[in-house]
A and B are shown apart, each in its own frame.
Chain A
């Protein structure tokens, strides 16, 4: 067959795949709406800070100073007093039910001790079953108590070393700014790797792939035809997420849009190669899907720095994270969007992504040939 003819065949094939996707309204709607819904959820609903802390106060003193301490907690917006009582017996059941987060135990004779200069022993109990929020709550409660203490007559203000903290590249720590890059990575992984894996294994399951293989198309053209529409879809998704983030939450784009789109395409290629590899390595749609989830979704969310900082990982997982493409991609997207970084700053990440892509491509081609041989 002459080259132009083959090219025409390829075009026809790509169009067929595209129609396939476009006709499936349901999937298409979800595909296009999902990034939108997620941007909104992350932007409006998800907060990593701790607010509305429920306090129980066990007041064994009931005097002017202990009342002042009550008032301190009642006066903050962060704390809400949900229980008070004279003995510590009430605490255990409250904590067990998860009805309080923090308990303050005030010793008997608080005012007397303070006046006499005897140490007043306050006890602060936190529900530390979640260590993160536990220590945060403890710090907030400690600050309230310190405020109360500073106002006690006779107290001399202590020394202060005040850090003036500047959050570079994201001054207000807006969670949307932080999550949008990760979100783009996640959606791209889903659309490219997962969808390709399933769609390819579906054709293998049905035997339609064999029909295509006896056609005059090259195997690589068939693969290209299968993945090209998903590449297009991935592109649409990046744009949707970016527009949503920008219009609704004014997430900045400080660097080059072109570079960002280029990086997205590179990352999509990685995802597609991974999808082909998974499809070639698994038998049925069901296993392909679970396999794809295992090798894509899990690492892309957990070992990529999207939610949890890479620096927090134990060393073995940090090493593993190096081969997770999403890890590098997220650095690139954050760099471009939040820091305005350019190729000068990001060339290493680009190189690594390209290398991963080439490796996956070789592996995918090889497995695919074995599978069909």
Chain B
């Protein structure tokens, strides 16, 4: 224990003596939260539209007007040639072409169904998918209104169905836990996890490999420091720093983005405490298999990529093929993200996130054991 105290003092001194490092450590959470939480959204603000109206009817004009009135589309160009529109699409002058064919209005009135053509620039697929759903929404609403209008005309005639009434269904939809649909509320907890992972894993790996490069690790290895003490001395300072980073992140999330904290705050820290042990342990493992800081950074980066993609941070886990879901389940990051989102956004309590806590505890124990076992003073 006494030895640990001396080693801890040394680690803290070394970190605090690197002012650039400390500055960055505290700036990164703020910058990243600001940028990422604002940037990470698929919502498309405004699509520029090239309109080709072959129908020139009141209803074709109404469709165009409805799209524009939705606030999601701007009709920046119009012509009577799809070819012209396609050229604009190619040059990225517009994102979408709307083609209303000849006979649109008469089809709608006579056969109760009419078609329009929508061409989207799908090179940006996410945006194209979202834009498509906006178009469908606006058109469906327009059709529903026209149904009512035409039905009113129809019911004025004396052929209304007798006896059984027309079934009426009212669907009320409610979105729980995020009624304003603020995407940033959803992103902030996940981003905090990503941040802790980068800070924890990377700094741990770099810290140990740095000593390898300097030769001081060899010096320590000829001393009688117990292995667990050495590991503890390396982990504790970075663990503390990561917890501070988390605290800053939570404060920024709260003050700037009004991210809620519906569940108990201590549960977030408890989860982080366990998760960090695993994340830092992985950093230690990386330092065991690399010799230079450059290598360590690289291995770290490669792992982080896989981690992030398989964590459900950006894309839903449930949509992955089964094998990928299994891989994701082995990723402690995924469980911690689930925990953070549950506690912060849905008010989950200790019982609700027990499975996540369990997985995190097991991974922390496992990773740390491997790290201690892999750290050998004597090369074989």
| A52 touches which of B18, B168, B210, B319 (Cβ 8 Å) | B319
Number of chain B residues close to chain A: CB under 8 A:
119
B232 CB–A CB distance under 8 Å:
no
Docked-complex contact A170 and B118, CB < 8 angstroms: no
- Could you tell me the distance in whole angstroms from the C-beta of B267 to the nearest C-beta in chain A? 12
> B165 contacts A131, CB within 8 Å?
no
Indicate whether A47 reaches chain B with its CB closer than 8 angstroms.
yes
* B25-66 contact mask (Cβ, 8 Å, vs A): 1 or 0: 000100110011011111111110000000000000001000
B301 beta carbon closer than 8 Å to chain A = yes
Q: Please report the total number of A residues contacting B with Cβ < 8 Å.
A: 117
Determine if A98 and B175 form an interchain contact, defined as CB atoms under 8 angstroms apart.
Answer: no
Q: Among residues 160 to 195 in chain A, which have CB atoms less than 8 Å away from a CB atom of chain B?
A: 160-171, 173-175, 177-178, 190, 194-195
Is the C-beta of A303 less than 8 angstroms from some C-beta in chain B? yes
With both chains docked as a complex, state the minimum distance between the C-beta of B199 and any C-beta of chain A, in angstroms: 9
Most buried by B among A149, A195, A289, A345: A289
Question: Which chain B residues numbered 165 to 219 have a C-beta less than 8 Å away from chain A?
Answer: 165-179, 181-183, 185-186, 198, 202, 206, 210
Q: Is the CB of B182 within 8 A of A131?
A: yes
Q: Give every chain A residue within 8 A of B181 (Cβ-Cβ).
A: 128, 131, 134-135
A52 and chain B: residue at smallest CB distance: B318
| A-facing residues in B140-156 (Cβ within 8 Å) | 140, 142-144, 146-147, 150
Give complex CA distance A171, B90 in Å: 15
A285 in complex: contacting residue of B121, B186, B294, CB < 8 Å: B294
- In the assembled complex, the Cα of A299 lies from the Cα of B310 at a distance in Å of 21
Q: Please, which residue of chain A has its CB at the minimum distance from the CB of B190?
A: A130
Q: Does A232 contact B (CB under 8 A)?
A: no
A244 CA / B316 CA spacing, docked (Å): 25
B346 touches A127 (CB 8 A): yes
Give the residue name and chain of the A residue nearest to B312 (CB): A130
For residue B224, CB closer than 8 A to chain A, the reply is no
Interchain CB contact under 8 A, B24 and A294: yes
A35-67, CB under 8 A of B: which get 1 and which 0? 001100110111111111110000000000000
Q: Tally inter-chain residue pairs, CB-CB below 8 A.
A: 363
Are A307 and B170 in contact, with the CB atoms below 8 A? no
Give min CB distance, A303 to chain B, whole Å. 6
B293 located at the interface, meaning its Cβ lies under 8 Å from any Cβ of chain A in the complex: yes
Q: Which residue of B lies closest to A38 (CB)?
A: B305
Query: Is the CB–CB distance between B352 and A133 below 8 Å?
Result: no
For B297, list chain A residues within 8 Å (CB).
Answer: 194, 198, 289
Q: Does A27 contact B (CB under 8 A)?
A: yes
A204 within 8 A of B: no
Known contacts A121-B172, A290-B24; A160/B114 CB under 8 A:
yes
Q: Is A366 an interface residue (CB 8 A)?
A: no
CB of B348 closer than 8 Å to a CB of A = yes
Tell me whether B270 is interfacial, beta carbon within 8 Å. no
B229 interfacial contact with A, CB 8 Å = no
Interchain CB contact (< 8 A) of B166 among A154, A289, A311, A345: A154
For A308, list chain B residues within 8 Å (CB).
Answer: 39-42, 126
Residues on the A chain within 8 Å of B125, using CB: 48, 167, 170, 173-175, 177-178
- Considering only CB atoms, which chain A residue lies closest to B146 in the complex? A159
Cβ of B265 within 8 Å of any chain A Cβ, yes or no, is no
| Stretch binding the partner chain, chosen from A3-11, A112-120, A256-264, A354-362 | A112-120
The CA of A132 and the CA of B190, in the complex, are separated in Å by 15
Nearest residue, chain A, Cβ from B310: A45
Q: B18's contact among A33, A169, A177, A286, by CB below 8 Å, is which?
A: A286
Q: How far is the CA of A120 from the CA of B150 in the complex (A)?
A: 23
Cβ of A207 within 8 Å of any chain B Cβ, yes or no, is no
Which residues of chain B are near A152, meaning CB under 8 Å? 167, 169
> Chain B interface: which of A213-221, A265-273, A333-341?
A333-341
Residues of chain A within 8 A (CB-CB) of B258 are: none
Interface contact B169-A120, CB-CB below 8 Å: yes
Please report the C-alpha to C-alpha distance between residue A175 and residue B166 in the assembled complex, in whole angstroms. Answer: 44
| CB-defined contacts of A130 to chain B, threshold 8 Å | 178, 183, 186, 316
Given A195-B294, A284-B18: A119 and B118 within 8 A (CB)?
A: no
In the bound complex, residues from chain A placing their C-beta under 8 Å from that of B177 are: 95, 127-129
A290 near B133 (CB under 8 angstroms)? no
Name A135-165 residues within 8 Å CB distance of B.
Answer: 135-136, 138-139, 142, 145, 149, 152-165
Stretch at the interface among B241-249, B337-345, B361-369, B371-379: B337-345
Is A363 part of the binding interface, using a Cβ–Cβ cutoff of 8 Å? no
Query: When each residue 125-142 of chain B gets 1 if its CB lies under 8 Å from chain A and 0 otherwise, what string results?
Result: 111111011011101101
Check B167 against A117 for contact (C-beta < 8 Å).
yes
B residues 280-329 in Cβ contact with A at 8 Å: 289-290, 292-295, 297-299, 301-302, 305-306, 309-310, 314-316, 318-321, 324, 327
In the complex, are the beta carbons of A47 and B36 less than 8 A apart? no
Complex interface: chain A residues within 8 A of B316 (CB)? 47, 50, 130, 133
Is B47 touching A119 in the complex (CB atoms < 8 A)?
no
B115 contacts the other chain (Cβ, under 8 Å)? Answer: yes
The residue that B348 contacts in the complex, of A38, A98, A195, with Cβ under 8 A, is A98
Complex contact B164–A154 (CB within 8 A): yes
Q: Which residues of chain B come closer than 8 Å to A153, judged between CB atoms? A: 164, 167
What are 23 A-to-B residue pairs whose CB atoms are below 8 Å? A37-B306, A45-B324, A50-B316, A50-B319, A114-B169, A124-B172, A127-B176, A128-B179, A130-B178, A130-B186, A130-B316, A131-B183, A132-B183, A158-B112, A165-B120, A167-B125, A168-B119, A169-B122, A195-B294, A284-B21, A287-B18, A313-B39, A345-B91
A residues within 8 Å of B by Cβ? 24, 26-27, 30-31, 33-34, 37-38, 41-42, 44-54, 93, 95-98, 114-136, 138-139, 142, 145, 149, 152-171, 173-175, 177-178, 190, 194-195, 198-199, 202, 282-287, 289-291, 293-294, 298-299, 302-303, 305, 307-309, 311-314, 317, 331, 334-335, 338-339, 341, 345
List 7 other contacts, CB 8 Å, given A47-B315, A285-B210, A294-B24. Answer: A96-B348, A125-B174, A128-B179, A169-B123, A174-B125, A298-B35, A312-B127
